[in-house]
Amino acid sequence: DTAVSQTPKYLVTQMGNDKSIKCEQNLGHDTMYWYKQDSKKFLKIMFSYNNKELIINETVPNRFSPKSPDKAHLNLHINSLELGDSAVYFCASSPGGGPRLFFGPGTRLTVL
Amino acid sequence: AQSVTQPDIHITVSEGASLELRCNYSYGATPYLFWYVQSPGQGLQLLLKYFSGDTLVQGIKGFEAEFKRSQSSFNLRKPSVHWSDAAEYFCAVGSNFGNEKLTFGTGTRLTIIP
Of B39 and B28, the structure prediction assigns the larger pLDDT to B39
Give the integer Cα–Cα distance in Å for A106 and A36. 9
Which range is least confidently modeled, A69-73, B12-16, B79-83? Answer: A69-73
pLDDT of amino acid B66: 96
In the DSSP assignment, the letter for residue A85 is G
pLDDT of amino acid A50: 86
In the DSSP assignment, the letter for residue A52 is T
Three-state DSSP at B26 gives strand
Q: Which residues of A touch B88 (CB under 8 A)?
A: 41
Q: Which residues of A touch B40 (CB under 8 A)?
A: none
Average pLDDT over every residue of B89-98: 80
Q: Read off the pLDDT of residues B30-50 as tens digits, 9 standing for 90 and up.
A: 789 999 999 887 889 999 999
Q: Which of B44, B52, B90 has the highest number of chain A CBs within 10 A, making it the mutation to test binding with A?
A: B44
**Residues of chain A whose pLDDT is less than 50?**
none
